Structures are given as structure tokens and as C-alpha cells.
């Protein structure tokens, strides 16, 4: 059996690689951080000394990295040395231009490729319940589907290369805006003397309903599982929401579309991160809204 190479063993990539191993696949992993390489070993991932060493002879190469630059760097390094057709899958959230370039590089070298960003966060990566949004040719998607299913619950083909990233960016643009709107509604209700519980009971069965409200309520004491009940420990870090809103703004600009609400959401998350809250959960922005935005 040929192995899977997994590059980027961080908060998401670590548990994802472990789930591939748990599903019976041979996994060779690499991360720049030696501590993470060490932590992957007991989870069934063979730690290698470089991305290239992990990729040599692999059936598929999965990347889970912070940004487009890192993905392109690793793909370029590996593409130059892989001599038989190998499936390239990038699960990172990156800008659409880099995603398209990565596909082009793989295609030019004769390899199938899929962009497959995820929704579900660290909890979903650990539980193996991620949603994958995939872009790439039908044949590449079919090759990737089984492998992705070992790490998640839903694997959706969104269209050609780059459209997985498009789906992810559009989804998180809605999430960022609905979370802020939900936080503002709770802050207003509190000032008006309406309890958090009553607003939740009404809005969760009315037209103000959203995932931000019913699955991730930003007010504490309503949903036991929401980060609001754990002093806004993530969850989904505010810095990552800011990153995704930045990607959405860049994408909108690239096609000449104005998205004023998402632009404002990005500005609000930038202010929140500037306050030193980048590592707290994105729903914690309710605290800044209650206090008032800085000038
Ligand atoms: P992370 O910072 O924990 O992990 C990224 C890892 O990549 C780090 O361990 C880093 O050392 C490694 N790395 C960077 N450059 C490298 C290189 N050239 N070679 C090898 N390793 C390299 O980040 P994360 O939270 O795991 O996020 C990874 C990706 O998943 C990001 O694109 C992020 O936007 C996306 N994402 C994260 C979440 C989340 O909740 N954390 C949810 C959905 C999507």
C-alpha cells in the first residue's frame, strides 16, 4: 500500500492526519515545528524530516497550512521531485488566486489536484466530522473523495479548481456578518431590559434565526456548548475569522464586487484583534460591542 503524505500538523492538520492513520492508512507527516512532529508519532503518523521526504513515493499529498504562500512553496518543492502521477490535495483556507495557481502548477506537471478547505474547526477535525468543499476536475475529485471521507462527514464538489475556496470564503463571509449582527442584537436587548434567554427563545424560532444564534450563541448561559460559556476560549479564533474576511474582501475586489457589510465586519474583527483578542473565540466580539467600538 502506498502512503499518504501530510504536510502541516498544526491544530487542524494534526488530528486530521491522525484520523487518516486511524482509518488504516499509512501516513507520513511533516511540520516545520519539531514539537508537532513528535506529537504526531503516538497518533500513528510517521514523522519525516522534510515535506519532500514525506512525499517521496506517496499516493497522495495533503497540505494543511496557514496561507497561500506556504501552500505554493510546499507544492513547488514537492512537484519538482514527484515522478509518477500523484494526487495533490490542499485543505488549507487560502486566497483563490493562489489556489488556482496551485492547480495550474499541478496540472502542468501532470498531477490531479483538489482544493478542499474545511468547515468544522478543531473539534470537527478531531472528531472526524469536517465538511470538505472541493474544487477540481471530476476525476481528481473522485480520487480524493474516499480519503477526505476518512477525515470528515461531508465531501461536496463545488466545481472547477478554486471553487472549494470560493465556497469556504462565501460561507465564512456570511458567518462573520451574522455573528456580529447577533452580538449587536443581544447587546441592544440587554440595554432595553430584554433578557438574553427571552431574545434567544423568540429569535431562534423567528426570522432572526441563524447558525450563529442557534449553534453558537454569543451570549453566555444559553447553549452549554458555545464558547460564550467558557470565557470565549476558541472554538474558532477571531484572528482566523479576520483572515477569512480578508480573503473574501480580496476575492470581491478581484471581480469588482462591492460587499459593504462584509467590509464592515472585517473592520470590526480587525479592531477586536487589535485589542489583543486574536486568540479568543470570534463570538467574543460581543464584549467589544457591549463596551462600544474604539474610536
Ligand atoms: P496552525 O497554525 O495550527 O497549523 C499550521 C501548521 O503549518 C503549523 O504547525 C506550521 O508549523 C505549519 N507550517 C507552516 N509552513 C509550513 C511549511 N512550509 N512546511 C511544513 N509545515 C508548515 O493552523 P490551523 O489552525 O491548523 O489552520 C490550518 C489551516 O486550516 C489554515 O489555512 C486555517 O485558515 C484553516 N482552518 C482552520 C480552522 C481552525 O479552527 N483552526 C478551521 C477551518 C480552517
Q: Cα(258) to centroid of ligand 1, in Å?
A: 29
Q: Cα(195) to centroid of ligand 1, in Å?
A: 39
Site to substitute for ligand 1 among 52, 64, 280, most atoms within 8 A of C-beta? 64
pLDDT range class, residue 210, cuts 50, 70, 90: very high
Section 192-196 average pLDDT:
98
In angstroms, the first-to-last Cα distance of the chain is 60
Section 21-46 average pLDDT:
98
Chain mean pLDDT for the chain: 97
Section 183-197 average pLDDT:
98
Q: Cα(117) to centroid of ligand 1, in Å?
A: 11
Could you tell me if the CB of 65 is within 6 A of ligand 1? yes
Beta carbons of 64 and 15 less than 8 angstroms apart: no
- Catalytic residue status for 168: yes
Is residue 6 scored above 90 in pLDDT?
yes
Could you tell me if the CB of 124 is within 6 A of ligand 1? no
Interface predicted TM-score (ipTM): 0.99
Domains of the chain, each with CATH number or no CATH: 4-161 (3.40.50.720), 166-291 (1.10.1040.10)
In this prediction, residue 23 carries a pLDDT of 98
Look at the alpha carbons of 9, 10, 12, 18 in this order and tell me if their dihedral is positive or negative.
positive
Share of the chain above pLDDT 90, in %: 96
In this prediction, residue 242 carries a pLDDT of 98
- How distant, in Å, are the alpha carbons of 49, 56, 134, 239, 251 from that of 278? 31, 37, 28, 4, 23
Is residue 163 scored above 90 in pLDDT?
yes
pLDDT tens track for 106-150: 999 999 999 999 999 888 999 999 999 999 999 999 999 999 999
Is residue 292 scored above 90 in pLDDT?
yes
Could you tell me if the CB of 8 is within 6 A of ligand 1? yes
Is residue 1 scored above 70 in pLDDT?
no
Comparing C-alpha atoms, which of 182, 214, 147 is closest to residue 286?
182
Site to substitute for ligand 1 among 11, 29, 69, 269, most atoms within 8 A of C-beta? 11
In this prediction, residue 83 carries a pLDDT of 84
122-128 contacts: CB < 8 A, separation 24 or more?
A: 122/11, 122/12, 122/15, 122/234, 124/152, 125/11, 125/12, 125/13, 125/14, 125/15, 125/16, 125/19, 125/151, 126/15, 128/19, 128/22, 128/152, 128/153
pLDDT range class, residue 236, cuts 50, 70, 90: very high
What whole-number distance in Å separates Cα of residue 286 and Cα of residue 181? Answer: 10
pTM exceeds cut of 0.90: yes
Is residue 283 scored above 80 in pLDDT?
yes
Section 23-51 average pLDDT:
98
Q: Cα(71) to centroid of ligand 1, in Å?
A: 10
Could you tell me if the CB of 212 is within 6 A of ligand 1? no
pLDDT range class, residue 295, cuts 50, 70, 90: confident
pLDDT tens track for 214-228: 999 999 999 999 999
What whole-number distance in Å separates Cα of residue 166 and Cα of residue 71? Answer: 17
237 CA: nearest ligand 1 atom: 40
Section 79-107 average pLDDT:
96
What whole-number distance in Å separates Cα of residue 130 and Cα of residue 109? Answer: 30
Amino acid at each position: 500500500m502506498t502512503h499518504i503524505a501530510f504536510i502541516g500538523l498544526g491544530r487542524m492538520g494534526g488530528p486530521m492526519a491522525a484520523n487518516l492513520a486511524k482509518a488504516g492508512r499509512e501516513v507520513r507527516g511533516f511540520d516545520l515545528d519539531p514539537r508537532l512532529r513528535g506529537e504526531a508519532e503516538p497518533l500513528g503518523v510517521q514523522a519525516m524530516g522534510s515535506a519532500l521526504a514525506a512525499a517521496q513515493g506517496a499516493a497522495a499529498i495533503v497540505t494543511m497550512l496557514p496561507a497561500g504562500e506556504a501552500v505554493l512553496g510546499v507544492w513547488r518543492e514537492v512537484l519538482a521531485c514527484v515522478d509518477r502521477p500523484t494526487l495533490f490535495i490542499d485543505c488549507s483556507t487560502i486566497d483563490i488566486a493562489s489556489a488556482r495557481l496551485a492547480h495550474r502548477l499541478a496540472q502542468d506537471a501532470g498531477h490531479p489536484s483538489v482544493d478542499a478547505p474545511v468547515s468544522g474547526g478543531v473539534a470537527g477535525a478531531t472528531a472526524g466530522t469536517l465538511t470538505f468543499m472541493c474544487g477540481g476536475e471530476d476525476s481528481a475529485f473522485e480520487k480524493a473523495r474516499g480519503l477526505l471521507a476518512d477525515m470528515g462527514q461531508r465531501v461536496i464538489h463545488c466545481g472547477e479548481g478554486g471553487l472549494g475556496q470560493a465556497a469556504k470564503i462565501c460561507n465564512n463571509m456570511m458567518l462573520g456578518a451574522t455573528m456580529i449582527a447577533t452580538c449587536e442584537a443581544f447587546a441592544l436587548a440587554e440595554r432595553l431590559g430584554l433578557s438574553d434567554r427571552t431574545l434567544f427563545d423568540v429569535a431562534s424560532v423567528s426570522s432572526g434565526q441563524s447558525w450563529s444564534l442557534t449553534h453558537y450563541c454569543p451570549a453566555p448561559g444559553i447553549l452549554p456548548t458555545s464558547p460564550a460559556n467558557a470565557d470565549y476560549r476558541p472554538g474558532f479564533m477571531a484572528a482566523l475569522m479576520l483572515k477569512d474576511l480578508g480573503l473574501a474582501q480580496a476575492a470581491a475586489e478581484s471581480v469588482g464586487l462591492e460587499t459593504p457589510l462584509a467590509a464592515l465586519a472585517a473592520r470590526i474583527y480587525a479592531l477586536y484583534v487589535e485589542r489583543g483578542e486574536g486568540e479568543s473565540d470570534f463570538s467574543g466580539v460581543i464584549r467589544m460591542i457591549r463596551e462600544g467600538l474604539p474610536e
